[in-house]
Amino acid sequence: MDVDSIVNATEGLDMDDLADIVPDLPESALHNLLLTLDHKHRDHLKRVLSYPEDSAGGLMNIDIITVRDDVNVRTVIRYLRLLKKMPNDTDKVFVVDRSYKYLGSIHISTLLTNEAEQNINPLINKTLKPISADMPEKEVAHLFEQRNLISAPVIDENNQLIGRITIDDVVDVIRDEAEHSVMSMAGLDEEEDVFAPVMQSSKRRSVWLGVNLITVFIAVFFIGLFEATLQEKIALAILMPVVASMGGIAGTQTLILVTRGIATGRVTTSNLKVLMNKEVAIGFLNGIVWSVVIALATYFWFEDVMLSLVIALAVIVNLIFAAFSGAFLPSLLIKFKIDPALAGGVILTTITDVIGFVAFLGLASLVI
């Protein structure tokens, strides 16, 4: 795409959307784009770009409607009419003082349902707390979800109103977070283009294939410790995947639940212990139920009571450890600044495989 086409494609974009694509523009296109903006819009763009992309400041839109607190309803409505066109998703106007410090907001419906001569000061909603410009975008999304907001004001460190965040911006954050979670579970880079060069894609994916290979060898090492036991009873080799698979599924369920809970703010250090106890209890209960099913199936297949008891106990042990690991891993990885959505699945699979194999083969070597 040539420079003129790129510049034309950016025409009509909101300032926050424009700020998102500026870092990816060629230098020539960026220069031409800045020339098309007037002084006011260039300053607005610079302000948005001064904040990290994943913060409220990088997410906000500069297009806001502000009024003073010493005017009446008639004045505000006249001002809105003079604007002719209001910014998208405008559900309220923001009230500021002469220093542009945020005082509160007034819903459009409030203006329409009050007398024209009514001073707006008593109508100001001061319960809508402003969002700090340096707040992470994930926390912004949580606030919108908790408060059912359509728009929210953004302030700087001096409590001055500098912009607003609208629901469409938050939807983008939620969508990006969902895409990140899905891609990470497969060990893929969310920034990787579907049609990226073969070598580039191969290098990115090979990293996690290598990590997975290491974890497989760890599991194989523990299996090798029970080589003599496996040679004595071939049924153990046949049933091993059952124990590992049950633990893997149970652990993954807990891992996804806790990782999502941490991402949405529902799981914190204050309630993590309670959640862990609950998940372990669920693992134990499911272990009891499914161990009976697996034991019966094993008995009807191999007609061996001890083998049935061994696999039943191994399933219970593995499901308990899987639930504990799935609940504990995300917070542990976050402490080491590792994305649990990216690394959690690989580590959890290793844990459930090793625990499952050791429990199953270890018990078998003792009693069979």
pLDDT tens track for 16-70: 566 666 666 666 665 566 666 665 566 666 777 778 888 999 888 888 899 999 9
Instruction: Give tens-digit pLDDT for 350-365.
Output: 999 999 999 999 999 9
The reported pLDDT for the residue numbered 145 is: 85
The reported pLDDT for the residue numbered 13 is: 62
Query: Which domains, from first to last, does the chain contain?
Result: 3-50 (no CATH), 66-179 (3.10.580.10), 198-367 (1.10.357.20)
pLDDT band at 153 (very low <50, low <70, confident <90, very high): very high
Instruction: Give tens-digit pLDDT for 196-243.
Output: 677 877 777 787 788 888 988 999 999 999 988 888 788 999 999 999
Q: What percent of the chain has pLDDT over 70?
A: 83
The reported pLDDT for the residue numbered 205 is: 74
Mean pLDDT of the 297-306 span: 94
The reported pLDDT for the residue numbered 35 is: 61
pLDDT band at 331 (very low <50, low <70, confident <90, very high): very high
Give how far Cα 168 sits from Cα of 92, 159, 197, 324, 326, Å: 16, 24, 33, 38, 33
**Candidate from 10-24, 103-117, 320-334 with smallest mean pLDDT:** 10-24
With 80 as the cut, is the pLDDT of residue 89 above it?
yes
Q: What is this structure's pTM?
A: 0.67
Do the Cβ atoms of 137 and 58 come closer than 8 Å? yes
The larger pLDDT score, comparing residue 184 to residue 321, is at 321
pLDDT band at 273 (very low <50, low <70, confident <90, very high): very high
The reported pLDDT for the residue numbered 177 is: 76
